[in-house]
């Protein structure tokens, strides 16, 4: 239970305050910013949960705004932090951006939202689509107050009744982001997969959906053997529409979906991966110039293609006079980022590409390896998943018995994908081929 919720500017000055329980004086928020700065000095980073004099401060920062919840109770910290995330999501949905100016311009509607989203410190309605039905940004003078939608009092608070579509469709995207750090020799230092199942639902009525994945735990618990590869997912997080009791008993993902676009679930796989796009680099430093050779390898199946590949290679901040030559794609020098960017529109699996770059150096200095940033790579591979996760079935059941079309798509893209560069080689004559 939260005692109060505050929205603060970067200096810690309250912009909005809502007291729900009255057991903590509003002046307690004055200790938040000194406490935060003290923790940053001691720990080197800000902690999301802090306690002083029996008051617990839970906070989330969005741009130039702090969202802070205070409590004296032995509250569930993750529930309150999740509520702050939902609060930020709702404000962003209403005002397009959550920042100090948008809060000052919309304080009346913010108080309305705070009253509906939390009651006596207990989170209530957090679904933006439902809130939009009876809390509007326009100010109307009505003789009869509008009744809140039935979804507010229903067990299914995230979906309204009476929704109708001429064509009933469901679009499901399995999106996996690859986080990876590779050393100059090409060995993987750390890697993991952050996955998400995203849906766009255009279905009439109150349908119930059942989603089946090639879940390793499900196959083991039922004693069945998987026809293909089974995946063991970790840190699974579901949208509130999923029946958790059903999932815990037989690993079936059963739910009544919200209308429109939402994220059904997210998961993580902490496994050793090989780089999908590997960049090998050679750097030669000479008096007055520096040269690069970068070889990019697409280390995935031949039938797959990576789209919109961007390879950002850092260079000294004072480099000038760039010259480039590449076997494929285009190269652009970006001085504001102290890097050049190699763009390849389509990079087929199993292929290689080569780039040569030459820069002039007006100053002579020692290269500091601690300040040498890594190569950053962006890519997107459609119809491909690294983990091997598969949608086994997606069943749609609605009492009217209409036929619906489910569409499933797989996408693998970069997350925090970095490759460290080797130390520059200093030599009199260049060993790299001329541009």
Interhelix angle 107-117/77-95, nearest 10 degrees: 140
Read off the pLDDT of each residue in 47-52 and give the average, rounded to a whole number: 89
pTM for this model (two decimals) = 0.70
- What mean pLDDT is reported for the chain? 87
Confidence at 140, pLDDT banded by 50, 70, 90: very low
Who has greater pLDDT, 310 or 126? 310
Predicted pLDDT at 139: 39
Who has greater pLDDT, 221 or 204? 204
* Cβ atoms within 10 Å of 384's Cβ, excluding its own: 19
* pLDDT tens-digit map of 227-280: 557 788 888 999 999 999 888 888 889 999 999 999 999 999 988 899 999 999
DSSP string, 82-110: HHHHHHHHHHHHHHSS-SHHHHHHTHHHH
Sheet of 4-8, strands arranged across:
14-19, 4-8, 65-71, 55-62, 49-52
352 vs 343: CA distance, rounded Å: 14
Predicted pLDDT at 104: 87
* Cβ atoms within 10 Å of 319's Cβ, excluding its own: 22
| Long-range CB contact pairs, 395-402, < 8 A, 24+ | 395/209, 395/210, 396/168, 396/170, 396/203, 396/207, 396/208, 396/209, 397/207, 397/208, 397/209, 397/210, 398/203, 398/204, 398/205, 398/206, 398/207, 398/208, 399/205, 399/206, 400/204, 400/205, 402/168, 402/204
Predicted pLDDT at 143: 42
At 352, give phi and psi (nearest 5°): -130, 155
Read off the pLDDT of each residue in 377-382 and give the average, rounded to a whole number: 96
Write out the two tokens for 226. 């998987």
Predicted pLDDT at 144: 42
Question: Does the structure show a pLDDT above 50 at 404?
Answer: yes
DSSP structure class, residue 240 = T
417 vs 163: CA distance, rounded Å: 42
Sheet of 425-426, strands arranged across:
320-326, 352-360, 289-298, 277-286, 425-426
User: What's the residue count for the chain?
Assistant: 435
Question: Does the structure show a pLDDT above 60 at 151?
Answer: no
* pLDDT tens-digit map of 73-113: 888 889 999 999 999 999 998 888 888 888 888 888 899 99
DSSP string, 361-429: -SS-----GGG-PPEEEEEEEET--SS---EEEEEEE-TT----EEEEEEEEEEEEEEEPPPPPEE-SS
Confidence at 204, pLDDT banded by 50, 70, 90: very high
* pLDDT tens-digit map of 317-360: 889 999 999 999 999 999 999 999 999 999 999 999 999 999 99
366 vs 37: CA distance, rounded Å: 36
Read off the pLDDT of each residue in 194-203 and give the average, rounded to a whole number: 96
Residue 400 and residue 261 in contact, taking contact as beta carbons nearer than 8 Å: no
Write out the two tokens for 109. 């509607």
Give a three-class secondary structure readout of 303-367: CCEEEEEEEEEECCCCCEEEEEEECCCEEEEEHHHCEEEEEEEEEECCCEEEEEEEEECCCCCCC
Confidence at 142, pLDDT banded by 50, 70, 90: very low
Question: Does the structure show a pLDDT above 70 at 219?
Answer: no
Predicted pLDDT at 190: 94
Share above pLDDT 90 across residues of the chain, in percent, rounded to a whole number? 55
């Amino acid at each position: 239970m939260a005692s109060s919720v505050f929205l603060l500017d970067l200096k810690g000055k309250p912009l909005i305050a809502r007291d729900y329980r009255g057991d903590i004086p509003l002046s307690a928020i004055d200790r938040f910013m000194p406490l935060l700065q003290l923790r940053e000095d001691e720990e080197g980073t800000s902690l999301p949960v802090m306690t002083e004099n029996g008051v617990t401060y839970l906070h989330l920062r969005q741009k130039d705004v702090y969202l802070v919840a205070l409590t004296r109770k032995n509250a569930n910290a993750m529930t309150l932090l999740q509520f702050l995330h939902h609060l930020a999501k709702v404000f962003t949905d209403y005002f397009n951006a959550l920042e100090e100016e948008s809060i000052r311009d919309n304080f009346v509607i913010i108080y309305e939202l705070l009253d509906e989203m939390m009651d006596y410190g207990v989170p209530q309605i957090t679904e933006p689509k439902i809130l939009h039905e009876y809390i509007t940004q326009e100010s109307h003078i009505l003789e009869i107050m509008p009744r809140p939608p039935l979804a507010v009092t229903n067990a299914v608070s995230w979906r309204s009744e009476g929704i109708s579509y001429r064509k009933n469709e469901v679009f499901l995207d399995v999106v996996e982001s690859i986080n990876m750090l590779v050393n100059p020799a090409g060995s993987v230092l750390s890697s993991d997969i952050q996955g998400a199942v995203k849906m766009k639902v255009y279905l009439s009525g109150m349908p119930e959906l059942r989603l089946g994945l090639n879940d390793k735990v499900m196959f083991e618990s039922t004693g069945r053997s998987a026809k293909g590869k089974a995946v063991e997912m970790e840190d699974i997080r579901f949208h509130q529409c999923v029946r958790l009791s059903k999932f815990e008993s037989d690993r079936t993902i059963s739910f009544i979906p919200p209308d429109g676009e939402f994220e059904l679930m997210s998961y993580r796989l902490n496994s050793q991966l090989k780089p999908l796009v590997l960049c090998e680099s050679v750097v030669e430093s000479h008096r007055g110039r520096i040269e690069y050779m970068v070889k990019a390898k697409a280390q995935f199946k031949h039938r797959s293609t990576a789209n919109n590949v961007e390879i950002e290679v850092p260079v000294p901040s004072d480099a000038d006079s760039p010259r480039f030559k590449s076997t494929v794609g285009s190269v652009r020098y970006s001085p504001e980022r102290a890097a050049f960017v190699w763009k390849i529109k389509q990079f087929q699996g199993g292929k290689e590409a080569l780039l040569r770059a030459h820069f002039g150096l007006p100053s002579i200095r020692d290269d500091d390896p601690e300040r040498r940033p890594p190569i950053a790579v962006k890519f997107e591979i459609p119809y491909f998943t690294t983990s091997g996760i598969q949608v086994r079935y997606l069943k749609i059941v609605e009492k009217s018995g209409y036929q619906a079309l489910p569409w499933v798509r797989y996408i693998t893209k970069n997350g925090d994908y970095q490759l460290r560069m080797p130390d520059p080689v200093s030599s009199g004559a260049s060993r790299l081929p001329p541009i």
